[in-house]
Amino acid sequence: EDKVVQSPLSLVVHEGDTVTLNCSYEVTNFRSLLWYKQEKKAPTFLFMLTSSGIEKKSGRLSSILDKKELSSILNITATQTGDSAIYLCAVFPGTNAGKSTFGDGTTLTVKP
């Protein structure tokens, strides 16, 4: 059975801190790994990673995939209270019709 594990489950930091969220996976058929941010509504897409070692960056957020270690990290630098959310990691299978596997998420709380 495909599995995606995120750590930590929950994290509380202060504004300005840098955080690293982890995602590891065990899937039979890997195509890509995605990161999402979920606040009060449904998840919003952050990054899609397909190739190992290539960093994707968007403002203060960045992410990288390590296919050898079957893992990915999401970094957030100079955190702000608006970064408080649940961050979800998902792995997509090799077929378009296949279902994705989501981790349980990391709840990040950024205190002022």
Partner 1 sequence: GAVVSQHPSWVICKSGTSVKIECRSLDFQATTMFWYRQFPKQSLMLMATSNEGSKATYEQGVEKDKFLINHASLTLSTLTVTSAHPEDSSFYICSARESGGGPQHFGDGTRLSIL
Binding site for partner 1 (CB under 8 A): 31-32, 34, 36, 41-45, 48, 88, 90, 92, 96-97, 99-100, 102-105, 107
- Phi and psi of 64, rounded to 5°? -145, 150
Distances (CA, A) of 85 to 70, 105, 110, 111: 24, 10, 9, 12
Q: Looking at beta carbons only, is 8 or 16 nearer to partner 1?
A: 8
Closer of 28 and 96 to partner 1 (Cβ):
96
Q: Which is nearer to partner 1, 15 or 45 (CB)?
A: 45
- How near is the Cβ of 105 to partner 1 at its closest, in Å? 5
Closest approach of Cβ 39 to partner 1, in Å? Answer: 11
d(CA 112, CA 38): 20
Shortest Å distance, C-beta 88 to partner 1? 7
> At closest approach, how far in Å is the CB of 16 from partner 1?
27
CB 91 within 8 A of CB 33: yes
Instruction: Say if residues 63 and 47 touch (Cβ distance below 8 Å).
Output: yes
DSSP 82: G
Q: Which is nearer to partner 1, 79 or 105 (by Cβ)?
A: 105
